Amino acid sequence: MKPSSDGWEELADWYDQKEGETGDLWHRALIDPVLLRVLGQCRGKRVLDLGCGNGYLARRIARLGATVTAVDASPRMIRNAKSRDDGSGVRYLRASATMMRGVGSASFDVVFANMSLMDVEDAEAAIGEVARVLRKGGRFVASISHPCFNILSNSSWTAEKTMGNKPVVHRKVRGYRTPFAERVPWDKEDGSKPLTMCYHRPLNWYARALSSNGLAITALEEPGPTPEFTKNVQEKPGDMDGAGFQEVPLHLVIEAVRI
Ligand SMILES: C[S@@+](CC[C@H](N)C(=O)[O-])C[C@H]1O[C@@H](n2cnc3c(N)ncnc32)[C@H](O)[C@@H]1O
């Protein structure tokens, strides 16, 4: 069976341009700073980037002195990642997160998955593979859409107008408990909206999937907006000053240790 990336193959060239070598605004100024802080010092470590996209973060971590393998199911993502290679020694591998052929058991100190786990249909199998390739004591760090506040079309910002006062911004949430899949539209500059598949699972799903695969949660972080993010973000909640992002995290970074 060929590795599936659920819509990402068609979007690979556009996504490569969007992320570039630094990550787009959401990555660079919101999610990545927290992911990198949780990852900590990677020099001398064997690191696997799961669902690497164009591999910008894999290369960044390799330049810091890690030995990095970057895995993605989309052949075009891997081709684009290779074409950006900077000689930092990243090994690029086309494989499914659910069956990483060519990746040895207990061969990594750290596995990270930056905004990719919710795109994997069988994420439990992917977590099983993470547990297989990590050495005992190794760490898994994943950033995901926050399962409590960022639930595909089951969540949105809303502004409640009060007489004479500034509108109050709320995050509206419905339908949290039941896992579901949805096609996510991406706004391309030419007006088209290609779709990728995304899977919502509640927080206790992640806790159970990790612990049943021998991964003990050691940190939960909820990225908050940096000044660069607040200044430049287009999608501003109701009050138009980005205050909603300060109080309601849309992403979660999970660290778990292989026991
Ligand atoms: C939102 S992108 C994130 C890419 C990259 N980590 C980043 O932060 O820019 C999700 C990535 O997961 C990959 N992906 C989706 N399903 C996968 C699977 N089953 N196995 C491996 N990669 C997968 C996609 O091809 C895509 O590159």
Q: Please state the domain extents for the chain.
A: 8-146+202-258
Pocket test for ligand 1, best of 59, 90, 119 (most atoms within 8 A of CB): 119
Q: 70: which strand partners?
A: 49, 92
Q: Give the whole-angstrom CA distance, residue 231 versus residue 64.
A: 29
Q: Give the whole-angstrom CA distance, residue 182 versus residue 173.
A: 16
DSSP states along the chain: -----TTHHHHHHHHHHHHTTT--HHIIIIIHHHHHHHH---TT-EEEEET-TT-HHHHHHHHTT-EEEEEES-HHHHHHHHHT--SS-PEEEE-BTTB-TT--TT-EEEEEEES-GGG-TTHHHHHHHHHHHEEEEEEEEEEEE-TTT--GGGEEEEEE--TTSPPEEEEEE---SS-EEEEEE---TTS---EEEEEE--HHHHHHHHHHTTEEEEEEE-----HHHHHH-SS--TTTTSHHHHHS-SEEEEEEEE-
Is the minimum distance from the CB of 6 to ligand 1 under 6 angstroms?
yes
User: From the CA of 49, how far away is ligand 1's center (Å)?
Assistant: 10
User: What pLDDT score was predicted for residue 161?
Assistant: 78
CA 82 from chain centre, in angstroms, equals: 20
CATH architecture of 8-146+202-258: 3-Layer(aba) Sandwich (3.40)
Predicted TM-score of the model (pTM): 0.95
Chain position carrying tokens 């010092």: 41
Q: Name the stretches of the chain with pLDDT < 70.
A: 1-5, 235-242
Pocket test for ligand 1, best of 8, 198, 250 (most atoms within 8 A of CB): 8
User: From the CA of 130, how far away is ligand 1's center (Å)?
Assistant: 15
User: From the CA of 157, how far away is ligand 1's center (Å)?
Assistant: 26
Half-sphere exposure of 65 (CA within 13 A, CB side): 5
Chain position carrying tokens 């895995």: 71
Is the minimum distance from the CB of 19 to ligand 1 under 6 angstroms?
yes
pLDDT in tens, 24-78: 999 999 999 999 999 999 999 999 999 999 999 999 999 999 999 999 999 999 9
- Six-digit token string for 81: 């990642």
* Ligand 1 atom with minimal separation from the 4 CA: 19
Give the residue among 163, 141, 149, 164 at the shortest CA–CA distance from 220.
141
Q: Give the whole-angstrom CA distance, residue 33 versus residue 223.
A: 8
